[in-house]
Chain A
């Protein structure tokens, strides 16, 4: 029997094992379904209201971050003076 046939037989065996074992089948189907629902509706991956602390010289870039020019980025910037 060729290597390809052996691989096909191995794939068939694995498929049968997965289909017939309820716990494994549950994991194979259930976990992606759960992820689909969670990532589709419940989980927000865009960072909003993210508290950011920028360490910079006083009055420079850190101060400009909080000028309100980007409405999506409502980061709270705190200028920490460097000595």
Chain B
């Protein structure tokens, strides 16, 4: 059970099935057995992939404008997204020259444009330095405070301390549920 306003961590080593479960939650893949039960209210899902999947040749602002245009109505204004994710100074900079932390913020901003009720992040802390990690956790905590349910994967068990609840996976099986 993943509650709104909470951060849930799927923890485990590489190959344990974290990404598979996250993709099933996102509706990208279908489970062989079992099912995902969503609440009756419509669920808007934001998905942040492990690898950078926006456009290197476009600037930060152009990437967000494009994502917003593709999403259609009821999206967060780009100017607000730039402010909320501290990207204003980078708005005219191409995505190709951003640091890992800045790219992660850009992907998070793009995922939040649709104001999702469920935010899924695949290994968001990988390749981030300490300052970028701190910034990311603070952004995720803020989004959770707005009522968004956050589910993320990590192979570092220490990331569990930032989560409200955790699930440990090993070789495709649930090993332990924490908090």
Residues of A that sit less than 8 Å from B by CB: 1, 5-6, 9-10, 13, 16-17, 20-21
Contacts and interface: CB of A to CB of B under 8 A. Distances in A.
B165 to A, nearest CB: 37
A16 B57 contact: yes
B66 interface: yes
Interface string B52-88: 0001011000100110011011000000000000000
Contact of B70 (A9, A16, A20, A21): A9
B69 A21 contact: no
Given A9-B66, A13-B66, A1 B57 contact: no
Contacts, number: 25
User: What's the interface size class on B, roughly?
Assistant: 10 to 19
Given A1-B72, A1-B73, A17 B57 contact: yes
B interface secondary structure, majority? mixed
B143 to A, nearest CB: 24
B55 A1 contact: no
Contacts of A10: 70
A1 B62 contact: no
Interface in B83-99: 94
B72 A13 contact: no
A24 B28 CA distance: 31
Contacts of A6: 69-70, 72
Interface string B3-31: 00000000000000000000000000000
Contact of A5 (B62, B69, B94): B69
A6 to B, nearest CB: 6
B69 A9 contact: yes
A17 B70 contact: no
Contacts of A13: 55, 58, 62, 66
A6 B66 CA distance: 9
B58 A16 contact: yes
Contacts of B72: 1, 6
